Chains A and B, each alone.
Chain A
């Protein structure tokens, strides 16, 4: 599994993802600059967390129009694996690769905290090593993490089993406790919690390893 991690101006979890894949999982990974129009030889693309373009205008809105995003769309169309974590999730929604939007947290404040998630499906490229219904610990750190979609959209998500992770205790006001979703085809994932922050015992947890290992098994 060769992973490409996109660096937008203002990305700040790019190095954390790189560290996990290269140093913890010992898999090849490279950074991709937002100005390039080709992804190169990669099997999976990660849009990392951070504040691309300073969250100016609207979170993710400007990054979604970066030159590299055309290549990401085409890659997703071909069935390539695309993961958006935190700001990356916001960018994928803004780019139309995932349905719905991420709004300001219900308490109107930035929230950094540990959360418990329930894994809703294990028959996906991103969750195959978890057990169905497994409860995992993963931190969140965001200002705009309240997932919203209209009723019809939510029905579609439920019907197509696109909800992959739900909060067991909703921290931010997300509709249906949604923490992470996939597209209909099942190759594009967006999630607000940070799996890359819980991949080493010294940092207090390894529940993120199931996610990265599932990916790398492909």
Chain B
């Protein structure tokens, strides 16, 4: 479990001018975790080009948004769910899909497509088959139930992932460009409302788990993996999309993912330059006897926090009740830039917003160039998924057959927008009521990026541009998921810096903005790091995108 360092603890005490209580320590621990505050990577991510004539929303929100003309826009983002998927593959992957879909519909967009990039260890490693089957079933289980098609993806096997698999999921949605919702709190006295599922004890400290390396006891971390309920999320999505139609009712909205209630209250306050008073007794709970610490750190899925206009609360309640969801006013916006939690009439925590969010530490970690050279090549062979389903022993088969076995488990057509589905390098979707088509591709190249992180990253960008160009689509933006080893290792940090330099240079040369992304560090087990694995999802648009790719 990654806790705060002694140095960070001193910073906390200094910022507050006092020793925090237990709940407050918990809040700082998750908010200052790598997963939430990007303390090792921020310096490098800042260089990316994030603006452009069509960018309506760059990084820093739940998803990036690009104007595609005729009053329409697309929202998209990629996320990793690597650590949880290794511990519990089905739920880890399923909640990864759930999380990225919430990121899209919280912006006001209806999700229309999913892609994934999944990386496993060698075919003969004892865990590979179990992890592969679990992850694929989890992605399908959640996406299929939500009714969002998984239209493409990539699967990769290499021994460097024996101890740390990668599960990256991308989602894209369509929205009206003048109806974008953001994770912002505003309007003193406006109610803070929690909607969706009840809060339980699952996922406590998930963000910190995802910010640490694995060792032999990773198995014991199972309770920190959240459990997904796609049925509730489907209802939550429909309810939110219906609520967005109520003019002026919702001021701001944010999904509750990593660090749950803590992250959403502090981040929304931070973006709005306000604070919140929250009443923990009002949070609908799944089990009795939960403490403020557990409520603040729970990562129970399928929850959203929204700030509403005071006089619209009852209209909103009607919508969420129609969809049989929890709807609880749990606090209000205050002018003071603090988030204060009351429990049984007493302050359970009372913290200034700045130190928890914007003033989180940023590190300039040491970098050390390592020798470059060819990557170790693991025969990129998957286990035979069909054979073991029939009860015969697993033996390797071609990657082609395995990919078909994988994508046959994903509904790739629901929504009736899929023009080109899985099995191709580019997926194509139509947008109903227009002549527009969206082309999507997802690429990674761990071996190339190990051999030369800078050129490897440039090569990935080139590959993605070539793929989109070859179907006649114009690339309009990327979202990237940067999967690396332990950033405290200077050679890993060098890989990270070089890959970022490559992505940055290529994006600038091609004139393609980075509108959002995700960083997953500490993909290390027993001192063994994964190869640098940037995953790039590139989105293109065009009216004349050719159907045959």
Contacts and interface: CB of A to CB of B under 8 A. Distances in A.
Given A50-B147, A54-B145, A55-B145, A9 B231 contact: yes
A139 B413 CA distance: 9
For A49, A50, A53, A110, which residue has the most chain B Cβ atoms within 10 angstroms? A110
A142 B421 CA distance: 17
Given A12-B234, A16-B415, A194-B413, A108 B146 contact: no
B411 interface: yes
A133 interface: no
A80 B14 CA distance: 74
B145 to A, nearest CB: 4
A9 B235 contact: yes
Interface string B221-243: 00000000111101100000000
A217 interface: no
Contacts of B407: 112
B140 interface: yes
Given A55-B145, A110-B144, A111-B409, A203 B414 contact: no
A110 B414 CA distance: 14
Task: Classify chain A: how many residues form its interface, as a range.
Answer: 20 to 34
A111 B404 CA distance: 11
B410 A112 contact: yes
A153 interface: no
Given A19-B416, A141-B414, A202-B419, A111 B230 contact: no
A117 B547 CA distance: 25
B549 to A, nearest CB: 13
B293 interface: no
Nearest to A114: B413
B260 to A, nearest CB: 22
B89 to A, nearest CB: 15
Contact of B408 (A16, A111, A203): A111
B91 interface: no
Interface in B502-549: 547
A54 B231 CA distance: 5
Nearest to A24: B416
Contacts of B430: 202
Interface in A89-120: 107-113
Given A9-B324, A109-B389, A111-B408, A54 B414 contact: no
Interface in A112-143: 112-113, 139, 141, 143
Nearest to A16: B416
B162 interface: no
B323 interface: yes
Given A12-B414, A197-B416, A203-B416, A108 B389 contact: yes
A165 interface: no
A199 to B, nearest CB: 8
Contact of A54 (B230, B386, B411, B432): B230
B412 interface: yes
A16 B323 CA distance: 20
Contacts of B140: 110
B376 to A, nearest CB: 33
In the A-B complex, the 10 residue pairs with the smallest Cβ-Cβ separation, listed nearest first, are A12-B147, A54-B231, A51-B145, A141-B411, A16-B416, A110-B409, A112-B411, A197-B413, A110-B140, A10-B231
